[in-house]
A and B are shown apart, each in its own frame.
Chain A
Amino acid sequence: MMESIKINASIRGPWTLLKKELLRFWRVAFQTVAAPVITALLYLLIFSHVLDKQVQVYDKVPYTAFLIPGLIMMSVLQNAFANSSSSLIQSKVMGNLVFVLLTPLTHLQFFTAFLFAAIIRGLVVGLCIFLVAMWFVDIHMANPWLIIAFALLGSALLGTFGIIAGIWADRFDQMAAFQNFIIMPLSFLSGVFYSIHSLPPFWQKASQLNPFFYMIDGFRYGFFGKGDVSPLISLSVVGLSFLVLAWITLKMLKSGYKLRT
């Protein structure tokens, strides 16, 4: 299917790298797509079973409906990060990253290919959860464009962060530390399972320092037309964070940090 698309010779390089990155996760879709979908659905089943009758975050929005966008976005973010970071650390540990480093691909092309692969993995996982969740709950979308914007920007931000982690980490345990001590706490404490307004004032303030909070809240705003902060603020925080991380990543790639000694 991909072969039939006409490709200009100058973009064939980055396009090939993107295609390879997509095939890489698609070949093991059971692990890279099915597994996170199942995990999200288990969260959904358990939390909605336990809390649906007892908790109502927004007026007239049942807890299960509130939970779904947060779970989708959390999975989008985690999988975007996992895609670029695990691909890079595997290639580094296996040594096969050399095949890409020997090519004329520029640092920008390298970045773009890994970025798009991460975005696509994040969106595929998010879309699957969305489609399955539709069986459980009526999903209403107040502003689909906001949903798309946050899904794209959020996955881009975490995909970029994954590239940084993948370049920085030399071993699998360093990467696991990144996942367990940064990505997991930030995503669980971002308001996926609650509105930050239910927190004590100090933790409300603390949550506002967490960029994951803005991604989850903005994405959820697209569904319900309401959130903890204005979607414009969220969009600015996420957009700006992406630009900063992308700039850092491009600097790292251009200087050859840890890749070309």
Chain B
Amino acid sequence: MTSPAIKINGVHKYFGSLHALKGVDLTIEQGEFFALLGPNGAGKSTLINILAGLIKPSAGNIAVMDFDVVHQYQQARQLLGVVPQELVFDPFFNVREMLRFQAGYFGRGPENDPWIDEILEGLGLTDKAHTNMRKLSGGMKRRALIAQALAHKPPVIVLDEPTAGVDVELRQMLWEFIKKLNRAGHTIILTTHYLEEAEALCSRVAMMKQGEIVALDSTSNLLNKFAGKQLRLSLGKVTLPQGLLPMLRVQDNGIFTFALSDMEQIEMVLSGLRAANIKVLDMQLSEADLEDVFLSLVGNHS
């Protein structure tokens, strides 16, 4: 059996009196496209920074393909490409120089140049290869930042909010390239605020809240489990029959939202209402998305 791409074991982190991570356990297998979601302050970036070796854990450990990120940091970092969240750059050099330096830090020399060309091409940076980092637009800087994390061709790639403030065109291009890397066997771990991105791309999702993982499942299971479909009924001021209460998610001003796991439950709701002599004034059926799951799990403060 292959070793997991990432294995996180009981990781705690304290910043003074703040308990930022409260015993996180998580295993991500090789080849996965994994999303780590959560509101600001949930601990996603802290967890990623511990993985990257930028922050030390207060307790617990993380291994990248069985290499401990603290005690075997050289091997672990060799396997890891992390795209930092902040839009940082080195103003002294052009894009190609930065990529060569970045690959060089990992021991890769001129033999790595074809791969650098491939990254430049895949991220639409080829014609900016000789442009100084300082002169790039924000979107281009973001691409260069992603390119730098990939320069040493790491098998495990971590993207921390890679599309924050990025236009639609780049998001499309970026995801096409990342999907291609994933198909080629790279493990992708993504944190994002754009839940539709996680839904469209990721096979598995972990949701974090206040330093803990509150949900961990395949994207489809999460969607089914929490709300396969949503039925919004406008009923006016009525009292629901007891039998329908377990399905009720939200009640607001005479509008009742039910979470359904399959279509047959629609009939159940409607017949229940008919039996109680409640008239349906309006009806809307929608697919649940990760946002619903997210909101129902972590509350409304993202």
Query: A residues bordering B, Cβ < 8 Å?
Result: 3, 7, 9-10, 12-13, 15-17, 19-20, 23-24, 27-28, 91, 94-96, 98-106, 256, 260-261
Q: What is the bound-complex CA distance between A103 and B84, given in angstroms?
A: 13
Of the candidates B54, B78, B107, B110, which one forms a contact with A98 in the assembled complex, judged by CB atoms under 8 Å apart? Answer: B54
Given contacts A12-B107, A13-B105, A23-B92, contact A95 B55 (CB under 8 A): no
- The number of chain B residues with a CB under 8 A from chain A is 33
| Pair A104/B56 contact, Cβ less than 8 Å | no
The residues of B that contact A105 with a CB separation of less than 8 Å are 105
The residues of A that contact B3 with a CB separation of less than 8 Å are none
Stretch at the interface among B69-77, B196-204, B281-289: B69-77
Ordered by A's residue number, 12 sampled pairs between the chains whose C-beta atoms are within 8 Å are A13-B105, A13-B107, A17-B101, A94-B89, A99-B88, A99-B98, A102-B54, A102-B84, A104-B105, A106-B74, A261-B54, A261-B55
The residues of A that contact B77 with a CB separation of less than 8 Å are 102-104
Of the candidates B74, B88, B92, B109, which one forms a contact with A24 in the assembled complex, judged by CB atoms under 8 Å apart? Answer: B92
The residues of B that contact A10 with a CB separation of less than 8 Å are 107
- Chain B, residues 259-302, CB within 8 Å of chain A (1/0): the string is 00000000000000000000000000000000000000000000
The residues of B that contact A28 with a CB separation of less than 8 Å are 92
Q: What is the bound-complex CA distance between A105 and B148, given in angstroms?
A: 16
Of the candidates B56, B89, B92, which one forms a contact with A260 in the assembled complex, judged by CB atoms under 8 Å apart? Answer: B56
Q: Is the interface of A mostly helix, strand, loop or mixed?
A: helix
| Pair B74/A100 contact, Cβ less than 8 Å | no
Interchain pairs with CB closer than 8 A, number = 85
Query: B residues bordering A, Cβ < 8 Å?
Result: 52-56, 73-75, 77-78, 80, 82, 84, 86, 88-93, 97-98, 101-102, 104-110, 148-149
Closest chain A residue to B55, Cβ basis: A261
Q: What is the bound-complex CA distance between A105 and B104, given in angstroms?
A: 10
The residues of B that contact A91 with a CB separation of less than 8 Å are 90
Q: What is the bound-complex CA distance between A198 and B263, given in angstroms?
A: 99
Given contacts A7-B109, A15-B104, contact A102 B82 (CB under 8 A): yes
The residues of A that contact B80 with a CB separation of less than 8 Å are 102
Closest Cβ of chain B to A189, distance in Å, is: 34
Of the candidates B56, B105, B108, B109, which one forms a contact with A100 in the assembled complex, judged by CB atoms under 8 Å apart? Answer: B105
| Pair B108/A12 contact, Cβ less than 8 Å | yes
The residues of B that contact A24 with a CB separation of less than 8 Å are 92
* 7 closest cross-chain pairs (CB), A and B: A16-B104, A95-B88, A103-B105, A104-B74, A104-B77, A96-B90, A9-B107
Known: A23-B93, A103-B105. 15 other contacts (CB 8 A): A7-B109, A10-B107, A12-B107, A16-B104, A24-B92, A94-B90, A95-B84, A99-B98, A99-B105, A102-B52, A105-B105, A106-B74, A260-B53, A260-B54, A261-B54
Closest chain A residue to B78, Cβ basis: A104
Indicate the member of B102, B107, B110 with the most A CB atoms within 10 Å. Answer: B107
Closest Cβ of chain B to A158, distance in Å, is: 22
Of the candidates B74, B75, B97, B102, which one forms a contact with A99 in the assembled complex, judged by CB atoms under 8 Å apart? Answer: B102
